[in-house]
Chains A and B, each alone.
Chain A
Amino acid sequence: MGNLRIGQIVEAALWITLVIFLFAYSFEFDREIEIYKYGAAAWPRAILLLIFIAALGQLLQQWYRGDEASSDMMEKAAEDGAHEAAEEAHHNTLAWYLYTFAISVIPFAYILVPDWIAAAMGLEKPGLHVAKLAVAALLLVLFIILVRGNQLGGMIALPVLFAAMMQDLGFYALAPFFIMAVMYLMGERRFGRMLIISAGIYAVLLALFVSVLYVGLPTGNISPFYEFGTGMVTILQ
């Protein structure tokens, strides 16, 4: 007994916060349905209740029995080295989580900040585009600085950043840089190889999906990225 670690308490707290948050929002749709006595909110609330119980049950068990798996078989079957890798790399400290969280905020900053600026300054579309490009450049510099001390954090945030920028800057212009950045964050340092293989992956993707399957990937909507994207589509199709 008394085996709780900080991480386990945080874990339970996160679950319970989620439950309270979603429960509060469930009043927005707590309406009756004529043909269904329980209404629209009954099922979601039942699930929330179960999550609440399970989170408390887990905490209770951890307090009572420590952090052991439910059975040997479950322990082995759930084993994929993810947990051990985290411990080995000391990626389970509070500092690491906060650091990673800080990097992960960057993509969301890109989604939100330009709109705030545009709203505050009353910018029209061209102004908004300039604001987006400026914010993007700033955030990229910030990202590169932050990633130097936390490569895995960078690896986690990078795809979200890539996706967040894609609406504006397009797949065609961003993908080559994205591919190279992933290689770099996975530990590759030989730039010649990175260039050649990135070009290869980029070419295969475009040939297969754009030329053969006619998947119209996002072209972006900010000049000159938009022109580049549409230009690529015209050439390829």
Chain B
Amino acid sequence: MDTFNNFLNGTVTLFSDPIGILIFLGGVVGGMLFGAIPGVSMLTLAAILLPFTAHLSPEHGIMLFSVIYCTGVYGGAITAILFNIPGAPENAPTAFDGYPMTRNGQAGKAVGAAVMCSALGGTVSAVIMMIATAPIANWAIRSFGPPEIFALVFFGLAVASSVGARTFWKGWLSILVGLLIAIVGLDPVGGIERWDFNMPYLLAGIHFIPAILGFFAVSEIFVQAEKKVTGSYRAPELSVDFPSLAELIAHKFAVIRSILIGFFCGILPGIGATLAAFMGYNEAVRWSKDRSEFGKGKMEGVISSETANNAATGAAMIPLLALGLPGGALTAMMVGVFQMHDMEPGPLVFINSADLVWVVFSAMFFANLSILLIGWLETKTIINLLRIPFQFLAPLILCLATVGSYAVRGLTIDIIVMFIAGVVGFFLRRSGYSLAGIVLGLILGRIGEQTFAQAMQMLHFEWSGFFGRPIALALLVAGFATLAGSIYGAFFRRRH
């Protein structure tokens, strides 16, 4: 009952504040739009908006990002289905069956299934999130000290290294680069300057906003520029109509299975919506009686992938808010929003700013619900914006990124750093590295080092102290097991 009352309070707070409503609607439409436009993603939008959340209240900032998360994960489904161009990696499996459906003349049905399943998966996930986050945070306050947090960071990064890049090594290297960037500046224990190369600019460390803008907004433009040059970029074409409700009910088991898979993927740090979508799809294939139909336009493929990726959104908020650990690129940016307001996400947020948490929770609930309505609107109207040729969008995004990175501290060198990050990100991406991994490393690097130092001081520099702390030990063992498994797989697993 408490949960329900909190939810009502959050809803009232959210919708009684005109600015809040405006931001909510902006987030819903913006996430969907950026998710849908090929060549940009919700991460581009989030990166561009990140510096300006300093002008918003923390509630509005986090709420905006969570809403973008929900609708952005859905938005890319439309382009995946219609043009075989997933707006973002989490929509990639949607294209496996969605695009064949379009070629079979069932585009409308596929889009309709994506809309309904995204809304359903997301809403259910939001409800579980509301019920589960507070108890987990309470438990975390009692049983999580620096050794546990360090162990959790390690486990999260170990898991993240096996996802997102082309190989396990590239995943690890991506994360290590992020950790490396986080080292520049003053060390968290003794305040000693590291790798500053006698440049005053580097003393304060490389700010995460120019880095994130460069890695996500700028490098994307370069990738598109390369595609454009080779002529593989295509301007979208449109066709839309809708499936019947009975057809969706016929797939209820696929929906439930994908919600469960999506939720568990979302709650694990480092996995998030992308793997959720792939796992959801893979399981649908595995459970199916007739596997050969998949990939040729089976609606169950679209349903499984789209339900799972939205089901991951609510789950991803649990480690973020209950433990202070982001699981993916977008939740890592939310940590950035918290930091800009001098707040640390984590269990204490529940005690110090319960209002914020519940406004965010209800916003996510309604954002997922609104996919039904605005998803329908999108296919009718907003999708026409996709006709904007990318060569006109590119300079706008680059200028927005320029203004954004400059606005943080008023330093032109931040703009240079951002564009260099874009160039580096572009080349790393082409070689199969994971930009999300770099950003996770960058955001978790300082937390990791700080909690490691605190843990070591607490345990009097005795490594065996970890054996006396079952949770930390379990997480460390799980992390090492993940790494060992990946290394073994890299050398010995046979692929077909």
With an 8 A cutoff between CB atoms, is A156 at the interface?
yes
With an 8 A cutoff between CB atoms, is B456 at the interface?
yes
* Chain B binder among A82-90, A118-126, A132-140, A224-232: A82-90
What are the residues of chain B within 8 A of A152 when measuring CB–CB?
222, 225-226, 229
In the complex with contacts A33-B189, A178-B395, A179-B395, A88-B232 CB distance below 8 A: yes
Complex partner residue of B192 from A33, A186, A215, CB under 8 angstroms? A33
Complex partner residue of A186 from B225, B274, B279, CB under 8 angstroms? B225
What are the residues of chain A within 8 A of B449 when measuring CB–CB?
43
Closest to A170 in B: B412
With an 8 A cutoff between CB atoms, is B489 at the interface?
yes
Interface residues of B in 226-248 (CB under 8 A from A): 226-230, 232
Would B391 and A77 count as touching, CB distance under 8 A? no
Closest to A72 in B: B495
Would B190 and A74 count as touching, CB distance under 8 A? no
With an 8 A cutoff between CB atoms, is B256 at the interface?
no
Would B487 and A183 count as touching, CB distance under 8 A? no
CA distance A47 to B162 in the complex (A): 18
With an 8 A cutoff between CB atoms, is A35 at the interface?
yes
Interface residues of A in 72-115 (CB under 8 A from B): 72-83, 85-86, 88-89, 91, 104, 107
CA distance A57 to B416 in the complex (A): 33
What are the residues of chain B within 8 A of A130 when measuring CB–CB?
none
In the complex with contacts A70-B490, A159-B218, A186-B394, A80-B164 CB distance below 8 A: no
Would B222 and A156 count as touching, CB distance under 8 A? yes
Complex partner residue of B399 from A29, A37, A48, A201, CB under 8 angstroms? A201
With an 8 A cutoff between CB atoms, is B7 at the interface?
no
What are the residues of chain B within 8 A of A155 when measuring CB–CB?
221-222, 225
Would A51 and B390 count as touching, CB distance under 8 A? no
With an 8 A cutoff between CB atoms, is A148 at the interface?
no
What are the residues of chain B within 8 A of A26 when measuring CB–CB?
194-195
What are the residues of chain A within 8 A of B489 when measuring CB–CB?
70-71
In the complex with contacts A36-B190, A186-B390, A197-B392, A78-B228 CB distance below 8 A: no
With an 8 A cutoff between CB atoms, is B467 at the interface?
no
With an 8 A cutoff between CB atoms, is A116 at the interface?
no
What are the residues of chain B within 8 A of A61 when measuring CB–CB?
167, 169, 490-491
Closest to B195 in A: A25
CA distance A196 to B21 in the complex (A): 34
List chain A positions with a Cβ less than 8 A from chain B: 11, 15, 22, 25-26, 29, 31, 33-41, 43-44, 47-48, 50-51, 54-55, 57-58, 60-61, 64-65, 68-83, 85-86, 88-89, 91, 104, 107, 151-152, 155-156, 159-160, 162-164, 166-167, 171, 175, 178-180, 182-183, 185-188, 197-198, 201, 205, 209, 213, 215-218
Would B190 and A31 count as touching, CB distance under 8 A? yes
Q: How many chain B residues have a CB neighbour from A under 8 Å? A: 90
What are the residues of chain A within 8 A of B403 when measuring CB–CB?
205, 209, 215, 217
Would B429 and A57 count as touching, CB distance under 8 A? no
CB distance from B99 to the nearest CB of A (A): 14
Would A15 and B173 count as touching, CB distance under 8 A? yes
Closest to B426 in A: A156
Interface residues of B in 395-431 (CB under 8 A from A): 395-396, 398-400, 402-403, 406-407, 410, 412-413, 415-416, 418-420, 422-423, 426, 429-431
CA distance A22 to B202 in the complex (A): 14
What are the residues of chain A within 8 A of B452 when measuring CB–CB?
43
One digit per residue, 1 when the CB lies within 8 angstroms of any chain A CB and 0 when it does not, for chain B 269-310 equals 000001100110010000000000000000000000000000
Would A38 and B456 count as touching, CB distance under 8 A? yes
What are the residues of chain B within 8 A of A25 when measuring CB–CB?
195, 197
Complex partner residue of A83 from B192, B432, B490, CB under 8 angstroms? B432
Closest to A48 in B: B180
Interface residues of B in 364-402 (CB under 8 A from A): 389-392, 394-396, 398-400, 402
Would B230 and A89 count as touching, CB distance under 8 A? yes
What are the residues of chain A within 8 A of B224 when measuring CB–CB?
186
Would A183 and B430 count as touching, CB distance under 8 A? no
Closest to A32 in B: B190
CA distance A173 to B4 in the complex (A): 55
What are the residues of chain A within 8 A of B187 when measuring CB–CB?
29, 33, 40, 43
Interface residues of B in 114-165 (CB under 8 A from A): 162-165
Would A77 and B490 count as touching, CB distance under 8 A? no
